[in-house]
C-alpha cells in the first residue's frame, strides 16, 4: 500500500494528498547550481598547482557537505511532508528521522480559511488556516492550490450525514 493508504480505516478514502509547493525547493536548486559551478571553477584553478590532489579533495568534501546540507536535506524534507484530506480527517505528517503528525477529525473542524501573499498567488499556493476545538488555529504553509484544498476541506466538513446541521438533499 502507498502512503497514506496504510493509515486509513476501512471506510475512509483519500480526497486530497499534497506535498508542500515546489517553491520550497527554489533556493536549494540555486545552491546546487552555485556549488556545482563554483566547484568546477575552483577545480580548474587548482588544476595548475602542485597541491592539485589535496585541493580537489577539499573542494569535493566542502561541496558535498554543502549539497547534502542545503540541497539534499530540504528535498527529503519536502518529499516526506504530506498534507492529506480524507473523508474522515485531516492528516499532516512531516519529518525524516523524527516523524511528527497531526490527525484532526472532520467533526472537530470549526472553520477553514486561506491566506495568499502576492508571491503565493503567482506560484498558486498559500497558507491554510484550520480552526478547531483547540485554542490555537493550525496553520499549514505552502499548500499547492490552497483555494481548491480549502473548498474540498469545507465540503468534507459540512457533508457529514450524521450531522444534524448538514444540508439535507432534495428527494
Whether 72 maps to a domain, the answer reads: yes
Q: DSSP H helical segments within the chain, as ranges?
A: 26-46, 52-67, 73-79, 118-123, 146-158
Q: Which helix (H) or strand (E) holds 4?
A: none
- In this structure, the answer to whether residues 109 and 145 fall within a common structural domain is yes
Give the domain extent around 126: 13-20+82-158
pTM over 0.85? The answer is: no
Question: At what angle are helices 52-67 and 26-46 packed, to 10 degrees?
Answer: 180
- In this structure, the answer to whether residues 92 and 43 fall within a common structural domain is no
Domain boundary among 77, 98, 114: 77
* Domain tally, the chain: 2
- In this structure, the answer to whether residues 54 and 91 fall within a common structural domain is no
Q: Which helix (H) or strand (E) holds 7?
A: none
Whether 2 maps to a domain, the answer reads: no
- In this structure, the answer to whether residues 44 and 100 fall within a common structural domain is no
- The rounded Cα 26 to chain-centroid distance in angstroms is 13
For residue 20, count CB atoms less than 10 angstroms from its CB and return exposed for 0-12, middle for 13-18, buried for 19 or more. Answer: buried
Q: What are 116-158's pLDDT values in tens digits? A: 999 999 999 999 999 987 778 899 999 999 999 999 998 888 8
Domain boundary among 41, 61, 77: 77
The C-alpha angle with vertex 154 and arms to 148 and 159, in degrees rounded to 5, equals: 125
Residues linked to residue 82 through DSSP beta bridges, in sequence order: 93
Q: What are 16-49's pLDDT values in tens digits? A: 999 999 999 999 999 999 999 999 999 999 998 8
For residue 49, count CB atoms less than 10 angstroms from its CB and return exposed for 0-12, middle for 13-18, buried for 19 or more. Answer: exposed
Whether 56 maps to a domain, the answer reads: yes
- In this structure, the answer to whether residues 117 and 70 fall within a common structural domain is no
Report whether pLDDT(60) > 70. Answer: yes
| Mean pLDDT, the chain, whole residue set | 87
- In this structure, the answer to whether residues 73 and 94 fall within a common structural domain is no
pLDDT at 170: 42
Beta strands 14-18 and 82-86 are antiparallel
Whether 171 maps to a domain, the answer reads: no
Report whether pLDDT(168) > 70. Answer: no
Q: Does residue 31 contact residue 70 with C-beta atoms inside 8 Å?
A: yes
Whether 3 maps to a domain, the answer reads: no
- In this structure, the answer to whether residues 61 and 99 fall within a common structural domain is no
Q: Say which CATH number the domain at 105 has.
A: 2.30.29.30
Amino acid at each position: 500500500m502507498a502512503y497514506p493508504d496504510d493509515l486509513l480505516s476501512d471506510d475512509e478514502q483519500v480526497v486530497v494528498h499534497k506535498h508542500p509547493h515546489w517553491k520550497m525547493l527554489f533556493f536549494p536548486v540555486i545552491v546546487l547550481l552555485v556549488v556545482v559551478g563554483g566547484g568546477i571553477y575552483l577545480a580548474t584553478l587548482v588544476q595548475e598547482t602542485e597541491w592539485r590532489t589535496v585541493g580537489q579533495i577539499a573542494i569535493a568534501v566542502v561541496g558535498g557537505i554543502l549539497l547534502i546540507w542545503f540541497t539534499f536535506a530540504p528535498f527529503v524534507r519536502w518529499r516526506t511532508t504530506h498534507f492529506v484530506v480524507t473523508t474522515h480527517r485531516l492528516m499532516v505528517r512531516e519529518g525524516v528521522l523524527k516523524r511528527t503528525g497531526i490527525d484532526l477529525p472532520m467533526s472537530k473542524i470549526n472553520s477553514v480559511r486561506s491566506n495568499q501573499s502576492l508571491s503565493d498567488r503567482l506560484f498558486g499556493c498559500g497558507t491554510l488556516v484550520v480552526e478547531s476545538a483547540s485554542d490555537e488555529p493550525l496553520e499549514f504553509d505552502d499548500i499547492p492550490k490552497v483555494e481548491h484544498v480549502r473548498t474540498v476541506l469545507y465540503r468534507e466538513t459540512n457533508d457529514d450525514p450524521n450531522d444534524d446541521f448538514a444540508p439535507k438533499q432534495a428527494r
